[in-house]
Structure 1
Amino acid sequence: MARTASRGKEPPPDALPLRGLMAPVQEIEAFAGDPDFMTSLARGLAVLRGFSQSRPHQTISQLSLRTGIPRAAVRRALHTLARLGYVGHDPDRKTFSLRAKVLTLGFAYLNTTPLTALAQPVLDAVSEKLHESSSMAVLEKDEVVYVVRSRTARRIMSVDLGVGSRLPAYCTSLGRVLLSGLSAPDLNAYLSRIDPVRHTQHTVVSREKLRAIVEAARKDEFAIIDQELEVGLRSIAVPVRDDQGRIVAAINAGTQVHRVSVPDLERLFLPVLREAAGDLCVPTRPLP
């Protein structure tokens, strides 16, 4: 989904072994001392996450490479998921792919989280005002996960994003806003474990510079990305807070560089996004 400044085009990041993030196998191994932790379940979930929009059909070897999980364990996970109807198998191509039943896992979250229901009309209104795409995301581990997209969103990236799509937090406006909500120890831990990848010549990969950018986002309560994820793409994001002031999500608006300048992102887009975020204040206790 991102082009680099080097020669030619590289495959999108989600087609490669996970870089700039904690690999699934490392995440699983971190819980080795927990006697109640189910390694087999964790591996199965990691295999499900190994599929992507650019790689919907993958072999056992490819999934093993992407997740770091041994081939034998990947094979058993796929066999189980296929028997349960979450994964399909093409014996001729020796590939696996997700089946529609996997959507039930995501719908359970969407249907039980009031924020996502509230956000849809709000993001649609943002998109209507700005004539650009708008999204809401939450932070999951080291990635942002898109949970709502405006219905009138226009495609601005080389790979289209939908609900459930993931991107690295460090090089997205949504991610930097969400990272600004972390405590100092959690931010330190995040910066120490990631391996930032230079997606374009503009991508900030210095951990100290990233720390300063996140701190600025915390102070300013917004973040702007200018062609760091993909050449030609700009976006601005603001936090969505609960009634205790904690950041629970972030919303953004994205555009192409030839349509909106960086100063105009702040001058024109920021007030609209802040108004929308105010409409999405999430109560943490029942209203009287």
Structure 2
Amino acid sequence: MSNQWLHMAYAHYIAEPLTSQVMPRLFALQQQIGQSFNLAEICDTSIIYSVRLPVQRTNFEGTLVGRTHPALNTSGGRAILSTWDVEARQNAVQNWPVAEYTPRTTTDRGEIAELVEQARQDGFALSFQEILLNEIGIAAPIKASNGKARAAIHCSVSMADWSVERVRKEIAPLLVDAARTFFDPGEDD
């Protein structure tokens, strides 16, 4: 039975044009920066990691394709939502689930709305210790021709080695630039 799941995963990768676009650039970014990179896609009210490029410090769960988290708790989910129209953003922030992974996870919906708005203005989203302690997440949306995203490229770094200022200065421009080079051929709403 498990082999059938692997065949299905392979079929997904071959059939998904965004994956083939993203993989070479994520490999290059990982080599350049030396950090973990992922492709996060919206899946109902969650994000699902469809590509994972871990580094040595990455825990086992962080290497697995198919892992999901509530979109509102992640930089990837917030980056994606930041491209949606006002009504869709407000609906998501008010109604989508949140979970508390760490004592630092943002669960206040007003704060989440502010973080999504900040992502809209910046072109990327940041999260601090929300899924894992001592981790900074940064994500930039990959937009379709209508400007709406269903995916984001995401990078995770350790706070032992990186400050928020350094992430903003060194990773954010590279991530935003990379995300802009992709075209999401997915469904335009």
Q: How many residues align?
A: 187
- The offset of 1:247, in angstroms, is 1.6
Question: Any stretches of 5+ residues in structure 2 without a counterpart?
Answer: none
Q: What does residue 255 of structure 1 align with?
A: 157
- The offset of 1:283, in angstroms, is 5.3
Contact 1:240 1:249 in 2 (8 A): yes
1:122 aligns with 2:25: yes
- Separation in 2, partners of 1:106, 1:158: 19
1:38-117 to structure 2, matched below 5 A, reads 85=1, 99-117=2-20
Bigger RCO (CA 8 Å, 6+ sep):
2
Picking from 70, 81, 106, the partner of 1:204 is 106
Contact 1:242 1:282 in 2 (8 A): yes
Picking from 161, 174, 177, the partner of 2:76 is 174
Q: What does residue 117 of structure 2 align with?
A: 215
Q: What does residue 136 of structure 1 align with?
A: 39
| Percent sequence identity over aligned pairs | 27
More helix by proportion, 1 or 2?
Answer: 2
Secondary structure in structure 2 of the residue aligned to 1:170? helix
Contact 1:180 1:215 in 2 (8 A): yes
Secondary structure in structure 2 of the residue aligned to 1:160? helix
Q: What does residue 132 of structure 2 align with?
A: 230
Contact 1:243 1:284 in 2 (8 A): no
Contact 1:156 1:233 in 2 (8 A): no
- The offset of 1:242, in angstroms, is 2.6
Query: What's the CA shift string for 1:88-128, capped at 9, x where partnerless?
Result: xxxxxxxxxxx221233333322111110111110000101
Q: Are the structure 2 counterparts of residues 155 and 165 from structure 1 closer, same or farther at C-alpha, using a change threshold of 3 Å?
A: farther
More strand by proportion, 1 or 2?
Answer: 2
Q: TM-score, normalised by structure 1?
A: 0.60
Q: Are the structure 2 counterparts of residues 192 and 244 from structure 1 closer, same or farther at C-alpha, using a change threshold of 3 Å?
A: closer
- The offset of 1:284, in angstroms, is 7.1
* 2:10 aligned partner, one-letter code: F
| Larger-gyration structure (1/2) | 1
Q: What does residue 281 of structure 1 align with?
A: 183
After TM superposition, the runs of 4+ consecutive aligned structure 1 residues lying more than 4 A away are none
Q: TM-score, normalised by structure 2?
A: 0.88
Query: What's the CA shift string for 1:169-202, capped at 9, x where partnerless?
Result: 1121111101212333333332333342222221
Secondary structure in structure 2 of the residue aligned to 1:234? strand
1:161 aligns with 2:63: yes
Contact 1:139 1:178 in 2 (8 A): yes
Question: Any stretches of 5+ residues in structure 1 without a counterpart?
Answer: 1-84, 86-98
Contact 1:157 1:233 in 2 (8 A): no
- The offset of 1:257, in angstroms, is 0.5
- The offset of 1:261, in angstroms, is 0.4
Aligned-residue RMSD, C-alpha: 2.1
- Separation in 2, partners of 1:283, 1:191: 26
Query: What's the CA shift string for 1:11-34, capped at 9, x where partnerless?
Result: xxxxxxxxxxxxxxxxxxxxxxxx
Contact 2:142 2:179 in 1 (8 A): yes
Contact 1:223 1:237 in 2 (8 A): yes
Secondary structure in structure 2 of the residue aligned to 1:229? coil
